C-alpha cells in the first residue's frame, strides 16, 4: 500500500509533509512525497518567510517516475504552491493512481473565514474543479464555504452544516468538513454510508493551531489505507487531532509552532489496532 502525499515542506511550524510523513509511517503505510514548495515556515502568523515554488521541478520528477512504472494506491494532495500545480495534481491522478486507487483532496487555502496569503478567487475556482475529481475532499469550514459559495458564519452565527455538506456533494460524493464549532462543541460533518450527513462531535477546545487540519487529514488517509471505514477513519482521526489540541493548548506556548501530535501517536495507534 503506497500513498503519494503532495504537499509543501514548511521547514518550521509542523504542518504539511512534516506531519504527513510521521503519521503515515506510524500507521505502517509507505508515504512517497511530492513537495510543492519549500518555505522557511508556514504562512500562518509568521512574517518574512521564504517561499520556493517547486512547480518547475514536478514535470521532471514525473518523467523519472514514469520510467520506474510506479503507481500509487492513494494520492493525497494538500497545499499547492501555484495554480499550475492544480493541473499537475489532476494529471498525477490520471497517470499514477492505480485502477481502484483513492484520490483525497485537502483543498488547503484558508482558515478562520479568510484565504491564506497568496490565494485568490481564481485559485478557489480551480480548486473546485480538482475537487470534482476527488473521492474525498477534506475542507475545513472556511474552505468548505469558499468551495460551496456560501458566506462564512461570522461572530458565532449558526450554520446549517447539513445543507453545506449537501452543496459540497455536488462537487464530490464524500466531503468531510472539519472545524465546525458550535458553542461547546467542535465537529466533523461527513457523508455517511447512505450519503446523508453525519456529525462526529468533540468538546470544543480553545486554541488555533496551524497544521491541525494536516494531522486530521493524514490520520484519516492512514486509517483508510489500513482498511478502516469512513466512519471509523473520521472517529480515529478526530480523536487523535483533538487529543493533540487538548495537550498542546497548555504545552505549546506559541501556537505557530504547531501541535504536539507526536505525544499522541502511541494512543492513536492503539486505537487503530483495536
The site string for ligand PXL over 64-103 (x = CB under 6 A, - otherwise) reads ---------------x------------------------
DSSP string, 64-110: HHHHHT--EEEEEE---SSHHHHHHHHHHHHHHEEEEEEEEE----E
Say whether residue 214 binds ligand PXL (CB under 6 A).
yes
What cell numbers appear for 106 in the block? 485537502
CA dihedral 253, 182, 129, 118 (to 10 degrees): -30
Say whether residue 210 binds ligand PXL (CB under 6 A).
yes
The site string for ligand PXL over 140-179 (x = CB under 6 A, - otherwise) reads ----------------------------------------
Nearest by Cα to 208 from 120, 110, 123: 110
Q: Which stretch binds ligand PXL (CB under 6 A): 36-44, 178-186, 188-196, 244-252?
A: 36-44
Residue in 42, 126, 174, 228 binding ligand PXL, rule: CB under 6 A = 42
Provide the minimum distance between the beta carbon of 252 and ligand PXL in the complex, in angstroms, as a whole number: 15
Cβ closest to ligand PXL, residue 127 vs residue 197: 127
Nearest by Cα to 41 from 154, 201, 210: 210
What cell numbers appear for 40 in the block? 522557511
* Interior angle at CA 96, CA 94 and CA 97, nearest 5: 75
- Number of neighbouring beta carbons within 10 Å of residue 241: 30
Provide the minimum distance between the beta carbon of 49 and ligand PXL in the complex, in angstroms, as a whole number: 8
Q: Which stretch binds ligand PXL (CB under 6 A): 10-18, 121-129, 137-145, 146-154?
A: 10-18
Say whether residue 15 binds ligand PXL (CB under 6 A).
yes
Provide the minimum distance between the beta carbon of 81 and ligand PXL in the complex, in angstroms, as a whole number: 8
Say whether residue 110 binds ligand PXL (CB under 6 A).
no
Say whether residue 8 binds ligand PXL (CB under 6 A).
yes
CA–CA separation, 128 and 265 (whole Å): 32
The site string for ligand PXL over 114-133 (x = CB under 6 A, - otherwise) reads --x-----------------
CA–CA separation, 191 and 41 (whole Å): 34
CA–CA separation, 63 and 82 (whole Å): 20
Q: Which residue ranges make up the site for ligand PXL (CB under 6 A)?
A: 8, 10, 15-16, 39, 42-44, 79, 108, 116, 210-211, 213-214
Amino acid at each position: 500500500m503506497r500513498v503519494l502525499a503532495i504537499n509543501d515542506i514548511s521547514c518550521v511550524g509542523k504542518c504539511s509533509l512534516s506531519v504527513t510523513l510521521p503519521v503515515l509511517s506510524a500507521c505502517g503505510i509507505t508515504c512517497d512525497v511530492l513537495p510543492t514548495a519549500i518555505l522557511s515556515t508556514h504562512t500562518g502568523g509568521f512574517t518574512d518567510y521564504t517561499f520556493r515554488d517547486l512547480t518547475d521541478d514536478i514535470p521532471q520528477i514525473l518523467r523519472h517516475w514514469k520510467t520506474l512504472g510506479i503507481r500509487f494506491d492513494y494520492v493525497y494532495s494538500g497545499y499547492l504552491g501555484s495554480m499550475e500545480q492544480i493541473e499537475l495534481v489532476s494529471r498525477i491522478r490520471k497517470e499514477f493512481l492505480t485502477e481502484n486507487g483513492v484520490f483525497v483532496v485537502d483543498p488547503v487555502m484558508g482558515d478562520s473565514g479568510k484565504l491564506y496569503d497568496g490565494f485568490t478567487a481564481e485559485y478557489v475556482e480551480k480548486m473546485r474543479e480538482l475537487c470534482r475529481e476527488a473521492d474525498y475532499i477534506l475542507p475545513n469550514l472556511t474552505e468548505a464555504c469558499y468551495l460551496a459559495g456560501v458566506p462564512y458564519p461570522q461572530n458565532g452565527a449558526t450554520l446549517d452544516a447539513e445543507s453545506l455538506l449537501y452543496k459540497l456533494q455536488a462537487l464530490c460524493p464524500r466531503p468531510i468538513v472539519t472545524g465546525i464549532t458550535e458553542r461547546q462543541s467542535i465537529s466533523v460533518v461527513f457523508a455517511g454510508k447512505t450519503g446523508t450527513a453525519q456529525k462526529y462531535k468533540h468538546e470544543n477546545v480553545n486554541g488555533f493551531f496551524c497544521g491541525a487540519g494536516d494531522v486530521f487529514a493524514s490520520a484519516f488517509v492512514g486509517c483508510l489505507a489500513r482498511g478502516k471505514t469512513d466512519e471509523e477513519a473520521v472517529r480515529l482521526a478526530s480523536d487523535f487531532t483533538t487529543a493533540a489540541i487538548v495537550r498542546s493548548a497548555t504545552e505549546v506556548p506559541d501556537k505557530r509552532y504547531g501541535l504536539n501530535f507526536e505525544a499522541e501517536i502511541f494512543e492513536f495507534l492503539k486505537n487503530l489496532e483495536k
